[in-house]
Amino acid sequence: MDNSDFNQKIAIRQKGLKLLPNPITIVDFYAGEGHISRNLWSKLNASLTCIEKEQWKVDKLDFDCIKICDDNRNHIELASKADIIDLDAYGLVMKNLHDILKKNNKTQLIFFTESNPFCKFMSKVVDELIKLEITAFWIEKSNQSNVFYGYVYRKI
């Protein structure tokens, strides 16, 4: 569901924003119907890009943003330019998180939803996070399901 744990997701992002309060660019890689972007990201004075592969969801993005209807894997290069990256997907995003951090050498705040944080990539990601000199890492269990939310912050 696009809107699960909405208040918890917003609270985690507000907590993380204290680390990077004035972002210039935000990319929401799994925008869905735009609940988080509409209620948080669009309120910031930043350039917002929302990527969603389903057109009917893109049509619901009724706020100021760059809208891309496509598979987000075709736009991963946008991560290198973003101050904030939102990976709110119900899937395995730890590998994406690892790849983004490894490729990018800039201050970034990355939010994520992970349906299986103890997947085969988790130990590799944690090892890499240590090597990549992460400034802050936060993860917490969903209030309603077996999903985990969190963020990674790296200050360069």
Domains of the chain (ranges, CATH numbers):
6-154 (3.40.50.150)
Provide the Cα torsion 112, 118, 122, 123; round to 10°.
Answer: 150
pLDDT of residue 132: 73
> Looking at the predicted structure, is the pLDDT value of residue 47 above 90?
yes
DSSP states of 124-140 as a string?
HHHHHHHHTT-SEEEEE
Task: Return the SS3 of 142.
Answer: coil
pLDDT of residue 28: 97
Q: How many CA atoms lie within 13 A of 127 on its CB side?
A: 6
pLDDT in tens, 63-113: 999 999 999 889 989 999 999 999 988 666 777 777 787 788 889 999 998
Contact 136, 111 (CB under 8 A): no
Angstrom distance (rounded) from CA 42 to CA 128: 31
pLDDT of residue 117: 58
| pTM for the structure as a whole | 0.90
Residue 1 pLDDT class (50, 70, 90 cuts): very low
Residue 52 pLDDT class (50, 70, 90 cuts): very high
pLDDT of residue 91: 65
pLDDT of residue 37: 97
pLDDT in tens, 117-156: 565 566 666 677 777 778 898 988 888 888 889 999 989 8
Is the four-CA dihedral 97, 98, 104, 108 of positive or negative sign?
A: positive
